[in-house]
């Protein structure tokens, strides 16, 4: 014990019925450092954080804060101990102001008479102290996702916490906002706060983190100083093997034009997008958040209220009014946000896998259960989804496995054109590599894929051609050879 740690978690074990979620986990956090917690989905990061936050009780192990043994039995105890957690899902009340949210449950003034002026002033002071350009009296629902995240962070800091945990804070914000977030984090560490940072984005580690602890299968497999290690070594630690090929892609000669879209607009975010997709091709759609990429695809898929523009499938003009029409023409869309637009959370993997293709096994008041199981199993195998059984409630699977079920669901419709909107968001590296490899297999078999992504490396490495959008319009198209980070960003900000 030569070094003094701000937080030490020693020998933490925790199990759930049938699963050993954490096994003898150790974690040490120094004051003033950003400490990354890496691991594939299901490795136990969230469980560990929940133990620290007082949401779960560990069966074994001890927690020391500033060298003092501390019992964290509930959320309030965690807060007293100086631990604050910014969860991945935002937990702000949308119809209340920023100030009300920050001071929720500890409003200044008396119980019967809240001092609203003081509350608003104090909140504004906090926001200003971290140079956040947010008005404390704004309703939270009016803020962007990134701004809401900032408010979450301010709220967490306002408890005077020494230990701040951030669970994938950058998964839904743009690069510019990420830079801003990192600034805030640096300000905090200068004040001696220790930050535990969970993220799947390796590039961020180098930029912001000092040390990194890697978890695999509920155990800690190693702690490294970020400057003294590299991406490949960390990935190898995470997956327990060397990943030889992260991006799998055989660039073949594409076939004829299978989908042609002219001047697509939904009257809102999508303004004028034209593009072509060839058979056996992956085209990437790059752009900043809010560039109208998802909206364009939704319009093509029949989900926009007022869509204008022409869509040609295999040279024939088609009129797609609903997703049912789109499926008829062989178009499938795996939506951007799994939770809101994809998952039936309380239902089983089987229900979630087969909801698109009920007609294949439900006929004349007869459910062919065997067929249903076969279809489900086929796509579990194809996507290499890890699930204890087909009856498993999908909400209990990790993000990567949920995403695999989502993609499998749409593959079951045997589409010729597959639209993937942010297919690897919130997915761990191992599963990401698997998804890339499956995409490669699919186009080799003649499928055509449109991939929207905010992660430039995956766009650059996977796409035959890259379309870039800005403010609802396609601003350019780059070949695989031309598609480089800088060229894309220039078009994205045009």
Half-sphere exposure of 98 (CA within 13 A, CB side): 28
Near another protein by CB under 8 A: residue from 193, 239, 327, 419: 327
With binding defined as CB under 8 A, does residue 247 bind another protein?
A: no
With binding defined as CB under 8 A, does residue 145 bind another protein?
A: no
What's the rounded Cα separation, in Å, for the pair 442 and 358? 23
Q: Which stretch binds another protein (CB under 8 A): 69-77, 351-359, 376-384, 439-447?
A: 351-359
Complex with another protein: residue 331 or 491, whichever CB lies closer: 331
Please report, in angstroms and rounded to a whole number, the separation of the first and last CA atoms in the chain. Answer: 55
251: exposed, middle or buried (C-beta count within 10 Å: 0-12, 13-18, 19+)?
middle
Q: How far is the CB of 219 from another protein (least distance, A)?
A: 22
Complex with another protein: residue 186 or 345, whichever CB lies closer: 345
User: Tokens representing 377?
Assistant: 């199993």
Size, binding site for another protein by CB under 8 A: 30
Q: How far is the CB of 120 from another protein (least distance, A)?
A: 32
Q: Which stretch binds another protein (CB under 8 A): 150-158, 194-202, 334-342, 375-383?
A: 334-342
Complex with another protein: residue 145 or 393, whichever CB lies closer: 393
Q: Which stretch binds another protein (CB under 8 A): 42-50, 308-316, 355-363, 471-479?
A: 355-363
Which residues ranging from 382 to 411 are in contact with another protein (CB under 8 A)?
393
Near another protein by CB under 8 A: residue from 241, 345, 414, 444: 345
With binding defined as CB under 8 A, does residue 48 bind another protein?
A: no
Q: Which stretch binds another protein (CB under 8 A): 183-191, 279-287, 332-340, 475-483?
A: 332-340
Q: How far is the CB of 104 from another protein (least distance, A)?
A: 23
Q: How far is the CB of 325 from another protein (least distance, A)?
A: 8
Decide if 157 contacts 126 (C-beta within 8 A).
yes
With binding defined as CB under 8 A, does residue 340 bind another protein?
A: yes
Question: φ and ψ at 478, to 5 degrees?
Answer: -115, 140
Q: How far is the CB of 147 from another protein (least distance, A)?
A: 23
Q: Which stretch binds another protein (CB under 8 A): 91-99, 206-214, 336-344, 473-481?
A: 336-344
Near another protein by CB under 8 A: residue from 17, 110, 112, 244: 17
Complex with another protein: residue 316 or 370, whichever CB lies closer: 370
Q: Which stretch binds another protein (CB under 8 A): 192-200, 236-244, 273-281, 325-333?
A: 325-333
Complex with another protein: residue 128 or 141, whichever CB lies closer: 141
CA 113 to chain centre: 41
Other CB atoms within a 10 A radius of the CB of residue 454 amount to 21
Which residues ranging from 265 to 324 are in contact with another protein (CB under 8 A)?
303, 322-324
With binding defined as CB under 8 A, does residue 112 bind another protein?
A: no
Question: φ and ψ at 19, to 5 degrees?
Answer: -130, 135
Complex with another protein: residue 81 or 357, whichever CB lies closer: 357
With binding defined as CB under 8 A, does residue 358 bind another protein?
A: yes
Which residues ranging from 66 to 95 are in contact with another protein (CB under 8 A)?
none
Near another protein by CB under 8 A: residue from 16, 80, 230, 241: 16
363-382 mask for another protein (x: CB under 8 A)?
--xxx-xx------------
Residues that bind another protein (CB under 8 A): 16-17, 303, 322-324, 326-327, 333, 335, 340-347, 351, 355-356, 358-359, 362, 365-367, 369-370, 393
């Amino acid at each position: 014990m030569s070094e003094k740690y701000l937080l030490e978690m020693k020998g933490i074990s925790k199990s759930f019925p049938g699963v050993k979620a954490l096994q003898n986990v150790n974690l040490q956090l120094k004051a003033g450092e950003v400490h990354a917690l890496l691991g594939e989905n299901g490795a136990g990061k969230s469980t560990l954080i929940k133990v620290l936050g007082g949401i779960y009780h560990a069966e074994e192990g001890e927690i020391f804060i500033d060298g003092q043994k501390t019992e964290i039995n509930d959320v309030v105890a965690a807060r007293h101990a100086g631990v604050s957690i910014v969860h991945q899902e935002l937990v702000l009340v949308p119809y209340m102001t920023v100030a009300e949210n920050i001071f929720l449950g500890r409003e200044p003034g008396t119980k019967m008479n809240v001092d609203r002026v003081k509350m608003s002033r104090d909140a504004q002071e906090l926001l200003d102290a971290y140079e956040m350009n947010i008005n404390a009296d704004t309703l939270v629902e009016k803020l962007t996702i990134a701004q809401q995240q900032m408010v979450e962070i301010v709220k967490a800091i306002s408890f005077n916490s020494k230990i701040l945990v951030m669970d994938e804070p950058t998964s839904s914000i743009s690069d510019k906002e990420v830079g801003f977030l990192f600034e805030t984090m640096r300000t905090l560490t200068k004040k001696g706060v220790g930050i535990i940072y969970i993220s799947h984005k390796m590039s961020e580690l180098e930029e912001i983190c000092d040390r990194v602890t890697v978890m695999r299968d509920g155990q800690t497999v190693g702690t490294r100083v970020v400057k003294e290690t590299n991406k490949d070594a960390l990935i190898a630690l995470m997956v327990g093997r060397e990943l030889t090929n992260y991006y799998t892609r055989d660039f073949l000669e594409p076939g004829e034009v299978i989908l042609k879209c002219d001047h697509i607009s939904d009257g809102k975010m999508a303004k004028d997008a034209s593009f072509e997709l060839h058979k056996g091709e992956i085209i990437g759609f790059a752009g900043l958040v809010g560039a109208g990429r998802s909206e364009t695809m939704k319009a093509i898929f029949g989900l926009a209220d007022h869509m204008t523009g022409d869509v040609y499938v295999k040279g024939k003009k088609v009129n797609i009014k609903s997703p049912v029409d789109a499926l008829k023409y062989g178009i499938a869309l795996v939506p951007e946000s799994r939770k809101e637009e994809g998952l039936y959370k309380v239902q089983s993997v089987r229900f979630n896998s087969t909801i698109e293709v009920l007609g294949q096994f439900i006929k004349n008041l007869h459910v062919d259960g065997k067929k249903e199981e076969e279809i489900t199993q086929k796509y579990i195998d194809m996507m290499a989804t890890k699930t204890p059984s087909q009856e498993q409630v999908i909400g209990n699977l990790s993000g990567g496995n949920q995403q695999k079920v989502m993609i499998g669901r749409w593959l079951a419709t045997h589409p010729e054109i597959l639209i993937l909107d942010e297919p690897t968001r919130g997915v761990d590296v191992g599963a990401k590599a698997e998804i890339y490899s499956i995409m490669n297999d699919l186009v080799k078999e003649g499928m055509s894929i449109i991939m929207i992504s905010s992660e430039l490396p995956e766009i650059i490495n996977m796409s035959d051609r890259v379309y870039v959008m800005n403010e609802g319009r396609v601003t350019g198209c780059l070949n695989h050879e031309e598609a480089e980070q800088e060229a894309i960003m220039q078009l994205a900000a045009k």
